[in-house]
Amino acid sequence: MRGLRGWIRAWIFLVLVSAVGCAGSRPQLPDVPEPAAGYWFDDFRQARARLDEPELLAGAAKVRITPRPGVLIAGHGFNKHAKGVLDDLWVRALYLDTGEEAVALVSLDLIGLSAPRIKRIRQRISRRHALRILVAATHNHAGPDSLGFWGPALFGLLPTRSGIDEAYMERVEKAAARAVIRAVARARPARLGLGRFLMPEGLAVNLREPGDVERTVRLMRLSDSAGMTIATVVHYANHAESLQDTNRWLSADFPGVLYRELDAILGGVTLFFTGPAGGMIEPSNDPGDDEAERLAFREKLGGSLAAGTLRAVIAGLREPAPAPLRLRTMRLVLPLQADGLLRLAMSLGLMDPRPVAGEQIETEMALLDWGELSMLFLPGEPSPELGRALRARLKGDLRMVIGVALDELGYLLSDRQWADPRFEYERSMSVGPAAANRIMQALECLQSDSCTRPWE
C-alpha cells in the first residue's frame, strides 16, 4: 500500500474491528494424506547419502498456478476481483544436492504463504526431510489472496470474510510439491556460478527514507556439463507491485517479465526471490498513471533485471571453489503485539489458523551456507536497514537476505525505525517490536556449532 492511504486504511480497520469485536477463527488446516506414489524426495536422498564421492547435482522445474479471472486480488484494498490474465503465475523450484546435504528452493508468485500452509506443502513432498524444503513468495500484489486479508469488506473497510479460496490453495500446494519432485527427478551434474550487478537508478523508491534504495542484484546460476542453464536465481529488493493500486489483471508483475526473457534466452528455470524491501521499497512509477504507462513501466523494470542478468552471464560469473552445503533451520518464537492488525486478522478468522500461546507466535527462519554463498530466509518483510545489519553478519562473498520466506508476519523493522513516526503503518502490520532482536539472536545461534536450539 502507498504511504498515507495505507496508513489511514489500516487504522480505520483497527478502530472498526475494536468496535465490533472478533468473529472467531477458522478450523485448523488438516494434515495432508501420504502421496500415493510414496516420497520420491526421501528415497532419492537415501540413495545419494550412500555414495562415497558424490558430485553436485541440480535440477529445476516450474508449474503454472494461474487462477481463473474473478478471484480476489491481494493487496491495495478489499474485495478486488481480477478481470483477466496478463501473464501466468508460477511455482518454480530448484533442487541442490551435494550428496551429504540437499535443499529445495521454492519461489511462488504470491503475496505470501503462512507457516501452516508451507507445512502442508512440505508434507506433500517429504516425511523425513521436510525442513530442507525452503518456500518463499515473490510478494506479488497482482496475484490471488493467499493470506486472507483482502476478502469482502463492510463499507470497503471492515473485512467480513477471508479472501482465501481453499480449492485454489490446495491446487497451489499440489503444484509446489509437483515442482519440487520434478526438480529432483531432473537433477544432473552441475556447476555453480555467482555474480551481481547494479540496477539503473530511478526504478525503485523508498517511501519512508528517500535515498535508501538497494540497487544491487545478486545472482546464482546452475549449469550442466554442456554449459546449458539448469536454473538462474535472481535476488532483488523491490515490491512486486509495478502494476499499482488500481490493477485488475492477474500477473506475476515485473518478475513475470524477468521469467519470460531469461527462460527464453538462457533456458532452464528462472527463480526470483525478494530482498529487504519492507518499509518501504516500491517501483518508482506513479500509482495514478494510466494502464498503458503502468504496463510499460513493468516491462522496463523486469527488462532491466533480465538485461543486467544477461550481461553478468556474458561477462562470466565467478565459479567458487567446491564447498560443503550447510543448512540450518530454527524455530523462532516472537511476541505478538496485541493491538496490531495481524493479531486482529487472526482473531477474525481471515488468516490460516495457527496457535498463538501467551501472545507469542511460533515461526521459522533458515540459513543456507555454501562456501562463498549465504542465504538467510526470513518470515516477513525486513526493512533495508535491518537487511543490511543481517547481511553484515553473514559469511561469504555473496550474501542474500530473502524476505517473505517460510511464513509471512508483516514488516520487520530495526529498533530505530520502530521508534520513528514515519513507520506508523509498518508498525501496525508487524508482529511486534521484539522481532528484530530475536532474529539477530537466532542468526547468531544458526551460525554457531554449539547452538542446541535449531531443528537441524
223 within 8 A of 191, measured Cβ to Cβ? yes
Q: What confidence tier does 454 reach under pLDDT thresholds 50, 70, 90?
A: low
> 327 pairs with which residues across the strands?
368
**Hey, where are the domains in the chain?**
1-456
Mean pLDDT of 420-425: 94
- More confident position, 288 or 153: 288
The x, y and z cell numbers of residue 225, run together, are 556439463
Over residues 37-53, the pLDDT tens digits come to: 899 999 999 999 888 88
**Alpha-carbon torsion, ordered 272, 309, 199, 261, to 10 deg:** -70
Q: Is the pTM of this model over 0.85?
A: yes
- More confident position, 137 or 160: 137
353 within 8 A of 29, measured Cβ to Cβ? yes
Mean pLDDT of 375-396: 97
H/E element holding 363?
A: strand 360-370
pLDDT recorded at residue 449: 81
Cell 536454473 locates to 231
Q: Where is average pLDDT lowest: 24-28, 110-114, 309-313, 360-364? A: 24-28
Q: What confidence tier does 11 reach under pLDDT thresholds 50, 70, 90?
A: very low
pLDDT recorded at residue 389: 97
Over residues 223-252, the pLDDT tens digits come to: 999 999 999 999 999 999 999 999 999 999
Mean pLDDT of 373-402: 97
Distance of CA 445 to the CA centre of its chain: 23
Write the CA distances from 352 to 80, 160, 190, 260, integer angstroms.
20, 15, 38, 32
Cell 554442456 locates to 226
- Helix ranges, 186-290 (H): 254-265
Question: Residue 418 pLDDT > 50, yes or no?
Answer: yes
pLDDT recorded at residue 175: 98
- More confident position, 90 or 9: 90
Q: Which of 101, 155, 154 is nearest to 129 (CA)?
A: 101
Cell 524491501 locates to 277
Angle made by CA atoms 84, 87, 91, in degrees to the nearest 5: 115
45 within 8 A of 101, measured Cβ to Cβ? no
Q: What confidence tier does 124 reach under pLDDT thresholds 50, 70, 90?
A: very high
- Helix ranges, 90-153 (H): 115-123
> 39 pairs with which residues across the strands?
none
Question: Residue 13 pLDDT > 80, yes or no?
Answer: no
The maximal CA–CA distance of the chain, rounded, in angstroms, is 65
Q: Could you count the other beta carbons within 10 Å of the beta carbon of residue 225?
A: 10
pLDDT recorded at residue 401: 98
Q: Where is average pLDDT lowest: 121-130, 353-362, 411-420? A: 353-362
Sign of CA dihedral 14, 16, 18, 21: negative
pLDDT recorded at residue 3: 47
Please state, in angstroms and rounded to a whole number, the distance separating the CA atoms of residues 346 and 81: 23
H/E element holding 176?
A: helix 166-185
pLDDT recorded at residue 452: 65
Write the CA distances from 48 to 51, 55, 222, 393, 444, integer angstroms.
6, 10, 19, 32, 31
Q: What confidence tier does 68 reach under pLDDT thresholds 50, 70, 90?
A: very high
Average pLDDT, rounded, for the chain: 91
Question: Residue 327 pLDDT > 70, yes or no?
Answer: yes
Question: Residue 8 pLDDT > 70, yes or no?
Answer: no
Please state, in angstroms and rounded to a whole number, the distance separating the CA atoms of residues 322 and 407: 31
Mean pLDDT of 366-391: 97
C-alpha radius of gyration, the chain, whole number: 21
Over residues 26-41, the pLDDT tens digits come to: 678 888 989 988 999 9
Mean pLDDT of 263-287: 97
180 within 8 A of 93, measured Cβ to Cβ? yes
266 within 8 A of 229, measured Cβ to Cβ? yes
Please state, in angstroms and rounded to a whole number, the distance separating the CA atoms of residues 68 and 71: 7
SS3 state of residue 431: coil
Question: Residue 19 pLDDT > 50, yes or no?
Answer: no
Please state, in angstroms and rounded to a whole number, the distance separating the CA atoms of residues 78 and 380: 21
Question: Residue 9 pLDDT > 60, yes or no?
Answer: no
* DSSP structural state of residue 333: E
Q: Where is average pLDDT lowest: 131-140, 177-186, 190-199, 336-345? A: 336-345
